[in-house]
Every structure is written in C-alpha cells, then in structure tokens.
Amino acid sequence: MFSRRWFVAWLGCCLGCWLGFLASAEPRVPWTSGRVQGSPEPPPRVQVARVFPRLQFKDPVELAFDPSGSRLWVLEVGGRLVSFVPRPEAAAADVSLDLGKVRSPFAQALGLAFHPGFATNRFLYLVYVAQDRDPAGTRLSRFRVEPTDPPRVDPASEQLLLTWMGGGHNGSSLQFGPDGFLYISTGDAAAPEPPDALLTGQNLDDRLSCILRIDVDHPSSTNAFSIPPGNPFIGRNGALPEIWAYGFRNPWRMSFGPDGALWVGDVGWELWETVHRIKTGGYNGGWSRMEGPQLVNATQQPPTPIQEPVLALPHSEFASITGGFFHDGADGLSELKGAYVFGDWETGKIRGLRLEGDRIVWNQELCDTSLKIVAFARDPAGGLLVMDYRPDAGIYRLSARKGPGPGGAFPRRLSETGLFADVARAVAAPGVVEYAVNASQWSDHARARRWAAIPGQGIVKTKVGRESHERRWEFPDQSVLVKTLSLDREAGRPESARPMETQLLHQSGDGWQAYSYRWNEAGTDAELVPAGGAVGEWTLRDARETGGVRTESWRFASRAECLRCHNTWAGPPLAFNFEQLLGKGEPGEAGRLASLGVIETHDDLSALARLSSPSDETANLESRARSWLHANCAHCHRWGAGGAVSLFLNDDRPLADSRLIDVAPARGGFGLTDARLIAPGDSWRSVVLYRISTEGSGRMPIQGSRRVDPHAG
C-alpha cells in the first residue's frame, strides 16, 4: 500500500542519485575556438541608437512631440504622462498627469494626441481603459494642459467624448488628419483566442474593430463632437455614423502619409501581420472573416467588400506589428525619404516599404533590434524615434550606421566555424558537447547528430513555470546549436551513411539566426548555402525500390524558412528543451548536460512533459503519436506560431485542448467520407493521418520532408 514514508524515501533516493551523478561529473572543457560571429550578409545601413540615455520609463506605450516641438511627451501604461525638453543631456522627465492616482477605477493608458491648435487651446486627447469587460470601459477624453513650466494637465478639465468595450484589444491610436478631424482606432476587445470572440469585426453597429472619425471642433447638441459630413455610413440603417473604416483586429499605431492616406498597422492573429492604406472612408480590412490572405471566420458576412492590405507579413518575419511613419530622409538616411517605416513588437525588426501608385516597388528589412517596439514618433527635423517597452525602456533614433557594423569574416566552410576538430570524421572541437533527443524530426530517412557549443564555460539558464510550456531557456551570446543530417548511401546500412547538410542555429546577441552548410561529395567539408536555399539530388541504393535505386531530392531550406519553424513561440531551438532531453522518469540527457555544466536548472522536473521515440514499441502508443506530432508539426501548430489551422499539437498541452479529436477539418476533407481531423477508431476518416501519409501538395508538414515516415501511421 502506498505510504507517505515510502514516497519520501523514494524521493530521497532519487535526489541522492541525481546529486551524486552531478557531483561525480568531470568539469567541462571551455569552448574557445568558435568563429561563428556576425553575419554572411553585408551589415545593414540602418541602426537604432539610444537617445536621452539618462531617462528611463516604466512600460511606455506612446510618445509624441507637442505641435511646437519644444517638448517630447511619453505616456506610460500605468497612467503617468511625462514630458521633457528633448536635449541629449535631459536627466529627468516632468510628470504632467498620473491617471492611475486621479481616476478610479483605472486599468491602463494607451494613446495620446495633441490638437493641431494646441498652442492656443491647450487641448490634449487621451485614451485609457477604466475597467476591463465594461461596455464603456475604454474612454476617449479631452484634457487641458496648463501653460505652466513644466506643463501640468488639469484632471478636472476632462471631457469624455467616446467610450467602447474595455479589455483585450483596445486599439487606441489617435491621429488628427489633414482634414482637421480626429481619427481613433479600436480593437475587437477580445483575448487572442478564440478569434473575434464578440464577432464584431464585420459589424457596423458598435465601435469595435474600427477607425472612427469625429469633428472635435464642432460639438453637436448631444455630444462633445459632431459627425463629419463625409463619413461613409451616415444614414445607413444599423450603422454608427462615426465609423470611417472597419474590419481590424487590433490596429496598433497609425499615421497619415504624404499622399493623405491613413496607414494602419493591424496586429494579426495566427499567421499574418498587416499594413493597411486607407485612402477613402468605408474601407473594410476583413477581420475576422479574413486575417490577411487567410480565411478565419467563414460565417462572418462582410456588409461591404473586403479590401486587401497593402502588405501582409507572415509570422516567420513579423509577429506583432507596430505602425510607423513616413521618413523624411533625415539622420543620414536619404534613401528612406518617402518610405513608410514600421516595426514589430515581438521580433524587434524594423522594415520599410515604398509605393508607386498602388504597387509596392520596395519592401525591405532595415534592421533587426532587441527592442520591444511599442511606438514611433516623428521629430520636428523629420527623423524617426522608436519607443522601447523593455524594463530598461528608453527612446531610440533611427540613423545611418557608422563604421563597418557587427561581424567579421563569417565562416563560409564548416571547417572554418571552430565547431569541429576534424570535420570529415565529425570530431567535435574541445568544449562542444554532443547530445541526443527523444523524438527526432522525420527528415526523409536521414540520420541526425546534434551538438551544443556554448562559449567558454557559459551555461544555458533555464526557468520552469507551472507548466513546461512556460519554460525559458537563456543561451549565452554566440552559442551555436548544430545538427548534421546524413543519408545511408545503401538503405538500412548505417555504416554507408554520408553527410548531406549541417544546420546551425546561432544566438547572435540579437536573436537566433539560421544557416545551412552543404557537404561535398567526398564528405570532407561543407559550404555555406545561399540565403535563399538550394536543392540537391543523390542516387542511393535501396532494395525496396524498383531497380534497387532511389533518387533522393534534398531541399536546403532558406534562412527565412528555417526561422518559420524555429520561431519565438516554439523555442526557437526546437530540439534543445526539456521535452526532448528528459528521460523516462529520470533526468536523461538533461541530467548529463547539467552535470557537464552546459545547462543550469534548479526546478522540479518531475511534472514536466517528455517525449517518447515514435519508433519505441515499448512506449505508450498515445505518447509515441503525440511525440511525433510534437517533433514534426507543433512548431507551427501551437498558439501564435503561424500554422494556418488553429491546432495545438505541442505535447505539453492536454489532448483535450488540441482541437484534433472528432473535429471537422477547416481546409477540406480530401475526399474522405465524413472527414474529421482525427476520427477515433476510424483511420479512413482521419485527415491528419491522410496528410502525413501522402506525398505531394496535400502533404504535411510542408517543410522538412517529402517522403512518408513509416513510423508515422
């Protein structure tokens, strides 16, 4: 019979073995030969550099110059509005208003704008959330700024103009247009999942998911504003007259371009981030029937035609867009004159695009930063400032890079990386540690070997939350994870294996970068694959094929394709995590790596998910199946990772949450009768089994393999 005394003794024994194992391990040799640094591409011309370095803000969400340009104002999510004279030596910001102290209830502040006539009327407009889930919880109010030095906002001057549902996506960007009217963005007021829970995106009878346009200079008899006569839905039955455009999920920051159009960055859901160019009223951005080019809610019927965004970026490139401004070519960036510049909260990337007419003629990543980009501002000289949201939040300026930038001679051959003492024999350099995983990704019969190269005696630090998907892995800068894929030149004979590709993940200091090296036919070295990828072909002996010969076509993924899988939500290292490194009821590889000083963990690992080998017939069948889906599919099909179908296939999520069992497919049934994603007890109706068991256009996964895994069915 189970007893507490027995459990305590068992736990003590396990801990004793674990600690003894750690104590007995040999110290790790430091890795000092690494030469994977910088980038093989030319350094970007654009950089961000911190300005006003003595100033620091807490959770800033918006910044703007007042119309005189004499002060720069920053709004913090906690309700503080501060301002300062924008001199490089500025050491302190003056508090002009603290909504968190003068308004109750109060949840968060989100947007600000100055009236064009601020010099005389002193009007400032703020959006803040008083209370979540309140139908009138988000408020647009006008305040008066006292002409004191420093300026103070009079809380008693507040005049409420508009309200909408509080909570979730609030939008809350404010801009005065060239027409003098105030434009206000609102979101769908929902949490990320399920999409558009209030089904408001294609409705015109509320203020959600919209761009509103109001005249604040001419109050009506019932409101502190009036409706501009050109608004598109005036007089339409069931539509609110203040709506200018609609069909947005969370329009986060917007601005007017030199063409007079309103440019909006709309934060995406599962797959796409979008930029919208609204030239006239009545624009329908598509949410939630569409997310960029992807169909989401087919039941949502658009009251007016949906218009395509000017740009849709996949989640492999952008993950939470922040709308920007047009650049005037200042700060040494004449090539950006006339370009729309915008950024991304999640990845820190900044991009630019340029149109000729309605056609994009230039669209390029300008720089990759470590910032949490929450807002942009255009300064009076025409340059762009970037607001960072991180704990040490500051303000940065976009400028031309001076000097050669980061880098050096990036290794063009695998033998130049410093990862191997003997490349041809796959002998790792001192300090580079080989490791194995529980469930290897299927790669068309290829065998995989993996190594971790952590500089010096650096340690991968881990922090585990209550669930394993809450884990955090912090790699020292310049760490490299290595995987070499080899094919048996004669099927079934491991001794005939020859390497084809070695893949690197490099923690550059600005995030993970992916590179591939293609082995020569002699197997003596490998050359760096171009950024766009490549295709190779090998002839192999295989008795299972007609004529005893198999031709294997091999796709070397582009660097962008690699990062579609190695994304923020899935890792980005896919195989270096507890699910893959913990053994059955024991530390496994995680314990060995900890004993060598490669990883550091102080948490209880007993409750964490761990994968099984799909080919291990002694393992539980459900565990084997879920492990295969985790290793091959979950990097896309998990929350936020970019899969076009909203499935949760990561093994640390309960099966009941996966949206697999007895669920009708969203992308068609492929001719299966009464198709389900997984039909319990009926494989002939199961779309998932069909898609991983077929070759060609219907195959999943779409990257990484072309042939059917015999262990997948």
For the stretch 280-307, pLDDT in tens is 999 999 999 999 999 999 999 999 999 9
Cα–Cα distances in angstroms (integers) from residue 132 to residues 105, 187, 375, 676, in the given order: 10, 13, 23, 37
Residue-level pLDDT at 382: 87
Residue 624: phi and psi, rounded to 5, are -65, -45
* Surface-to-core class of residue 353, CB atoms within 10 Å of its CB (0-12 exposed, 13-18 middle, 19+ buried): middle
The per-residue DSSP string of 125-192 comes to EEEEESSTT-TT-EEEEEEEEE--SS-EEEEEEEEEEEEE--SS-----EEE-TTS-EEEE------S
The DSSP element (H or E) to which 17 belongs, if any, is helix 4-24
The DSSP element (H or E) to which 446 belongs, if any, is none
Residue-level pLDDT at 592: 92
Distance CA(677)–CA(659), nearest Å, equals 8
> Which architecture, in CATH terms, is 46-400?
6 Propeller (2.120)
**Most distant pair of Cα atoms in the chain: their distance:** 90
Residue 486 near residue 540 (C-beta atoms within 8 A):
no
Where do you find CATH 2.120.10.30 in the chain? 46-400
Torsion of CA 575, 576, 577, 583, to 10 degrees: 80
For the stretch 303-325, pLDDT in tens is 999 999 999 998 778 889 999 99
Name the residue among 43, 59, 32, 62 with its Cα closest to residue 510: 43
Residue-level pLDDT at 265: 98
Distance CA(74)–CA(394), nearest Å, equals 10
Q: Which residue has the tokens 């400028």?
A: 399
Residue 673 carries which side chain, given as an amino acid letter?
A: T
> Which residues of the chain have a pLDDT value below 70?
1-26, 403-408, 464-471, 569, 602-604, 639-645, 667, 697, 713
The pairing of beta strand 599-600 with beta strand 460-463: parallel
For the stretch 24-74, pLDDT in tens is 456 789 999 999 998 898 888 899 999 999 999 999 999 999 999 999 999
Residue 228 Rama label (left phi>0; alpha psi -120 to 50; beta)? beta
**Which residues neighbour 161 within 8 Å (Cβ) at sequence distance 6 or greater?**
125, 140, 141, 142, 214, 216, 223, 224, 225
**Which residues neighbour 218 within 8 Å (Cβ) at sequence distance 6 or greater?**
225, 226
Residue 17: phi and psi, rounded to 5, are -65, -45
Residue 623: phi and psi, rounded to 5, are -65, -40
